[in-house]
Chain A
Amino acid sequence: MARAVTPRRKALNTAIAWIIGLLIFFPIIWVFVLSFKAEGDAIKAPLEVLSSPWTLESYSVVQERSDYFKHFWNSVILSVGSTFLGLLVAVPAAWAMAFVPGKRTKDILMWMLSTKMLPAVGVLYPIYLLFIQLGLLDSRLGLVVVLMLINLPIIIWMLYTYFREIPGEILEAARMDGATLRSEILYILTPMAVPGIASTLLLNVILAWNEAFWTLNLTAANASPLTAFIASYSSPEGLFYAKLSAASVMAIAPILIMGWFSQKQLVRGLTFGAVK
């Protein structure tokens, strides 16, 4: 809608949008503020909170108490590892669906998506038992595999929608030019789909980073990522707002920063490739 509007109209739009945007964002700002306060000050009324002195104390306490960096690395390994593993399986599958579609391609895709609807809790105990049997409980490897499997349908779906935008003639040209299937995917399809693959990768890193059912139930001390680190703050122990805030900021900051720098791909990825 590229219609010229009056500056007054534009100023009004801007004001409303900023107010709503800040309201939605406010909880995150507030947590950020509280994380730099002393425990005693953090529970005061908002105005008093703002006027109280600023301190980094909570951050050091949190690191000492629950070893943030260990959980951070677990989160990184789980989210990045599961996403890359997922891409490795999904790229060939999405290639097949997008460029050699058969009568049942659509059904297979829908079936894959429907496995996401399988309630995790319904199969928690069997997985739990299998993990004990295989010695995977509280291991990063086990969780990487599980996170890969739960996000695989979404990765495939997204890649499929991105791949379909690539004209099949180009891949046929590569075939005529003597490219093997491997070089066709490696040298032609993948480079052409880089933006789509990047969006898929970013979104799935975030989904895996934030996944809080399997990571809470299948880990203990060893492999637990930041979701579990935060959940350990859910039981109240007196005045703890500042520490909880510091821990929260530490848990979400990596993703927020990543989101900030890769906004374009992320916005594209957030639509799951389903809307243009």
Chain B
Amino acid sequence: MATQHSRSAARFMMAPAVILLLGWMLVPLVMTLFFSFKKYLPLRGDSMANGLEWVGFENYVRFISSSSFWPSISATLIIVGGVLLITVVFGIALALLLDQPMWGQGIVRILVIAPFFVMPTVSALLWKNMFMDPVNGFFAHMLKSVGMQPIEFLSQHSLLSIITIVSWQWLPFATLILLTATQSLDGEQLEAAEMDGASWPSRFIHIILPHLSRAITVVILIQTIFLLGIFAEIFVTTGGAFGTKTLTYLIYQRVLESQNVGLGSAGGVYAIILANIVAIFLMRIVGKNLDA
């Protein structure tokens, strides 16, 4: 519903955004692909100027056959899946609770969303030292006061600890979206169901949950985008030790710590493929569920 004139104006208006994002996507992508087929160890004197040795798929084979590869994939999936599960389940519970009439609703809402404003480096440091530290941490003090052994959270329960930290950061987001969706639920629908004799669990399953499905989709979509790339939380807490090396972190180590750009780039390509699989999967759901 528009004229030729406005359509060409629209193209013109979209051009900067499209060109910038296309460049942002393509230039590094092409370079990463290029490096992934090369031997490129800057510390051993390899450089673009001297020309890089073509090694075919060697980097790809080495990256995938490295003993850290599959554990990194599973660590990534466990962290993303764990955080999604916790934030969605608790998010729904919190949203339903906050939707009830109460005193000081606004303040409680601020308390609940506050962790979202805490930068990831701060929240990682805070949990690592002030709470999870086995000697001086808050939890250690609490356990000692009831005569129990302090737990070494980040080394013995490393994945769970990281999931806890990240969930704390993302629960506010999930809660808020789900709360917004809950508030738009038509009260008469619930009352009608109650009149029809539906019990609370069946009202929850047949009315509340379907109503929230779109919001849940949004939560999963947006969180996955951010969670696949979590970095600071691992960088600060375990540095990738104790089985918390995600794919992101593994690549980071290959590229920046061991300065093997070729190998890291091959890993980057794997990460991009993984992200695309997830993306296609998500876009399918979203395409159905979002009227974007």
List chain A positions with a Cβ less than 8 A from chain B. Answer: 1-3, 5, 10, 13-14, 16-18, 20-22, 24-25, 27-28, 30-31, 34, 43-46, 89-90, 92-93, 95-97, 99-100, 102, 106, 108-110, 112-127, 129-130, 149, 152-153, 156-157, 160-161, 168, 181, 206, 209-210, 212-213, 216-217, 226-227, 230-231, 233-234, 236, 241, 244-245, 248, 251-252, 255-256, 259-260, 263, 267, 270-272, 274-276
Contacts and interface: CB of A to CB of B under 8 A. Distances in A.
B65 interface: no
Interface of B: 1-2, 6-7, 9-11, 13-14, 16-18, 20-21, 24-25, 27-29, 31-32, 35, 48, 94, 97-123, 125-127, 129-131, 135-136, 138, 141-142, 144-145, 168, 171-173, 176-177, 180-181, 184-185, 187, 190-191, 214-215, 218, 222, 224-225, 228-229, 231-232, 235-236, 247-249, 251-252, 255-256, 261, 264-265, 267-269, 271-272, 274-276, 278-279, 283, 286-287, 290, 292
A213 B268 contact: no
A230 B233 CA distance: 12
Q: Which one of B9, B13, B103, B185 has the highest number of Cβ atoms from chain A below 10 Å of its Cβ?
A: B13
B35 A125 contact: yes
A20 B235 contact: no
A221 B222 CA distance: 32
Contact of B97 (A17, A110, A216, A227): A17
Contacts of A45: 141, 144-145
Chain B interface, >50% SS class: helix
Given A102-B7, A119-B251, A121-B251, 17 more contacts: A1-B190, A3-B187, A27-B131, A28-B115, A97-B14, A102-B10, A109-B292, A110-B287, A117-B228, A118-B25, A122-B272, A152-B17, A227-B121, A248-B126, A251-B121, A252-B119, A275-B214
B136 A100 contact: no
A270 B173 contact: yes
A114 B102 CA distance: 40
Contacts of B112: 20-21, 24-25
Q: Which 4 A-B pairs have the closest CB atoms?
A: A122-B268, A123-B28, A126-B31, A96-B10
A89 B19 CA distance: 11
A27 B168 CA distance: 10
A13 B94 CA distance: 11
B119 A92 contact: no
Contacts of A125: 31-32, 35, 255, 261, 264-265, 268
Contacts of B1: 168
A95 B27 CA distance: 27
Contact of A119 (B99, B126, B268): B268
Contacts of B271: 119, 121-122
Contacts of A274: 177, 218, 222, 290
A241 B130 contact: yes
Contacts of B228: 117, 119
Contacts of A130: 27-28, 31
A30 B29 contact: no
Given A212-B232, A256-B114, A27 B119 contact: no
Contact of A100 (B2, B103, B187): B2
Nearest to A111: B21
B136 A241 contact: yes
A230 B122 contact: yes
Contacts of A13: 97, 100-102
Contacts of B272: 118-119, 122
B262 to A, nearest CB: 10
Contacts of B292: 106, 109-110, 157, 160-161
25 contacts: A2-B187, A14-B104, A21-B109, A45-B145, A89-B16, A93-B18, A106-B292, A115-B21, A115-B25, A117-B228, A117-B276, A119-B248, A121-B229, A121-B251, A122-B32, A122-B251, A122-B269, A123-B32, A152-B20, A152-B21, A161-B292, A212-B119, A227-B232, A271-B177, A274-B177
